[in-house]
C-alpha cells in the first residue's frame, strides 16, 4: 500500500511538520523541509540537536509522533501510516560504517542485492567497486582495509540497490583530517555521478559548506535556517546560526533610521523596517576586518592564534571592545602591535537585544 501525493524535482524528499517525542523529550520539533532531486543537502548542528533522529525518521528506523514524510511523491510515514525501511528506496551510511566483519568486500556490497541473478549481482558489484576505487579488493575483509577503504565499501553497499535517497550519518568523523578532506571530495563526486539525492548530517561547518548545495541548521530540534552555504554564513537568520557557523563577534549597537550605529562605526542596513533607538547586537566576522601596522592606530593586537595558512588576531579597541581579524600567516604581526582597523561588511547583520 502507498499514498501518492504528486511530486516535483524540487520536492523530492518532503518533511511536513515532523515531530518526534520520547516520553517528555522532544528530539525533533515541528519543522518543514523540502530537498530536491539530486541535491546534496546537509543538516548541520551541535550534538543532541536532532540531526540523527531526523535521518532515522527519513530512513524509517523510527516512527513519527506527528507530521509526514514523502519521498518522490509517495507518502512513507505519518502517525497512522508507515512504509518499512527496505521499501523506501533509501540507503544509509553510518558513522561506524556497520560492515559485516565475517563477509568480504564483495559479499558486503552484494548484501542488498538479494533476489537478483548471480550475473546481475557480479556486474553491479564490479561497477560499484570501480566507481568507489576498490577494484581488486573484492576478496578482502573489513579488518584488512584502511578507514578510508571501509568508508568506500559502506558507500558502495548502500548504493548497490540504486536508492533514490542516500543518508549519511557523520561518515567522515572517524577519519584523520587529511583523509577526511580527500574522502569528502571523492564521496561527493561518486554521489553526483550516481545522480542520488543526498542528506548528510554533521556537526562540522566546513564539511557541510564544502559538500552541500544547501544547508539546514538545527538547534534543539528546531530548523533555524535553510539556505546556500553563502547565505547561511553571510546572512544568518538568528544569533545561534551566526555563532555556530563561524567565528563572530557581537557588539552592542542601536538602530538609527537606515543605519546600525556602534562604537566601531555606522553601517547601512537593508531591513525593510527597524525602529529607531532599538538596542541590537552587531555581528562582525574576522574576514570583515582588515588591519595594518600603524603606531597611531586605534587598536592593539591583544593576542594571536596561528592557524597554518592564516593567523587569527584578537584586537583591543577603546572602551575594552574586542574584535577579531584574520590575516595571512606569511606576514604575521606581533602581539602588542598597534594597528589601523578597516571594516568592510558585505552585509550588515544584527540581532535585537531581548531584555
Q: What is the DSSP string of 234-274?
A: HS-SSHHHHHHSS--EEEEEEEETTEEEETTEEEE---S--
pLDDT, position 242:
96
Range(s) of the domain holding residue 335:
247-352
Query: Do 196 and 282 belong to one domain?
Result: no
Q: Are 36 and 195 in contact (CB under 8 A)?
A: no
- Which pTM was predicted? 0.88
Shared domain check, 78 and 192: yes
Does residue 264 lie within any of the structural domains? Answer: yes
pLDDT digit string, tens, across residues 139-196: 999 999 988 899 889 989 998 998 999 999 988 887 777 778 878 888 888 888 888 9
283 and 344 both lie in a single domain:
yes
Domain closes at, from 201, 225, 243: 243
In a domain, 112, yes or no: no
- Cell, residue 279: 538596542
Q: Which residues of the chain have pLDDT under 70?
A: 1-8, 272-273, 355
Question: Do 226 and 251 belong together in one domain?
Answer: no
Q: Are residues 184 and 333 in the same domain?
A: no
Quick one: pLDDT at residue 132? 87
Q: What is the pLDDT of residue 183?
A: 81
For residue 199, the domain's CATH number is 3.40.50.300
Task: Supply the pLDDT for residue 9.
Answer: 74
Q: How many domains does the chain have?
A: 2
Do both 197 and 237 map to the same domain? yes
Q: Of 178, 210, 243, which closes a domain? A: 243
Provide the mean pLDDT of the chain: 91
Residues 223, 310 within the same domain: no
Other CB atoms within 10 Å distance of the CB of residue 80: 7
Q: 156 and 131 in contact (C-beta within 8 Å)?
A: yes
Which residue, 217, 243, 269, sits at the end of a domain? Answer: 243
Note the pLDDT of residue 1: 39
Amino acid at each position: 500500500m502507498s499514498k501518492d501525493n504528486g511530486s516535483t524535482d524540487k520536492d523530492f524528499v518532503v518533511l511536513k511538520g515532523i515531530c518526534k517525542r520520547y516520553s517528555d523529550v522532544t528530539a525533533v520539533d515541528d519543522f518543514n523541509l523540502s530537498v530536491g532531486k539530486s541535491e546534496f543537502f546537509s543538516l548541520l548542528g551541535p550534538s543532541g540537536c536532532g540531526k540523527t533522529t531526523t535521518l532515522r525518521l527519513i530512513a524509517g528506523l523510527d516512527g513519527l509522533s506527528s507530521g509526514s514524510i514523502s519521498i518522490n511523491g509517495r507518502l512513507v510515514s505519518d502517525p497512522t501510516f508507515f512504509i518499512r525501511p527496505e521499501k523506501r528506496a533509501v540507503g544509509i551510511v553510518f558513522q561506524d560504517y556497520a560492515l559485516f566483519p565475517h563477509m568480504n568486500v564483495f559479499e558486503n556490497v552484494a548484501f542488498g542485492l538479494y533476489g537478483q541473478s548471480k550475473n546481475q549481482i557480479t556486474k553491479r558489484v564490479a561497477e560499484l567497486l570501480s566507481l568507489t576505487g576498490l577494484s581488486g579488493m573484492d576478496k578482502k575483509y573489513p579488518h584488512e582495509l584502511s578507514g578510508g577503504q571501509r568508508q568506500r565499501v559502506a558507500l558502495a553497499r548502500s548504493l548497490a540497490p540504486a536508492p533514490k535517497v542516500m543518508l549519511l550519518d557523520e561518515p567522515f568523523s572517524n577519519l584523520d583530517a587529511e583523509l577526511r578532506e580527500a574522502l569528502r571530495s571523492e564521496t561527493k563526486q561518486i554521489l553526483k555521478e550516481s545522480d542520488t539525492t543526498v542528506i548528510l548530517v554533521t556537526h562540522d561547518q566546513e564539511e557541510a559548506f564544502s559538500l552541500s548545495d544547501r544547508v539546514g541548521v538545527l538547534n534543539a530540534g528546531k530548523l533555524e535556517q535553510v539556505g546556500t552555504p553563502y547565505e547561511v554564513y553571510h546572512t544568518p537568520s538568528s544569533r545561534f546560526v551566526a555563532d555556530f557557523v563561524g567565528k563572530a563577534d557581537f557588539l552592542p549597537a542601536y538602530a538609527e533610521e537606515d543605519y546600525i550605529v556602534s562604537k566601531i562605526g555606522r553601517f547601512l542596513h537593508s531591513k525593510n523596517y527597524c525602529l529607531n533607538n532599538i538596542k541590537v547586537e552587531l555581528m562582525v566576522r574576522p574576514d570583515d576586518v582588515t588591519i595594518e601596522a600603524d603606531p597611531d592606530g586605534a587598536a592593539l593586537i591583544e593576542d594571536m592564534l596561528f592557524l597554518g595558512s592564516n593567523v587569527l588576531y584578537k584586537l583591543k579597541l577603546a572602551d575594552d571592545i574586542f574584535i577579531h581579524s584574520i590575516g595571512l600567516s606569511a606576514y604575521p604581526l606581533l602581539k602588542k602591535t598597534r594597528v589601523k582597523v578597516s571594516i568592510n561588511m558585505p552585509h550588515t547583520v544584527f540581532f535585537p537585544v531581548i531584555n
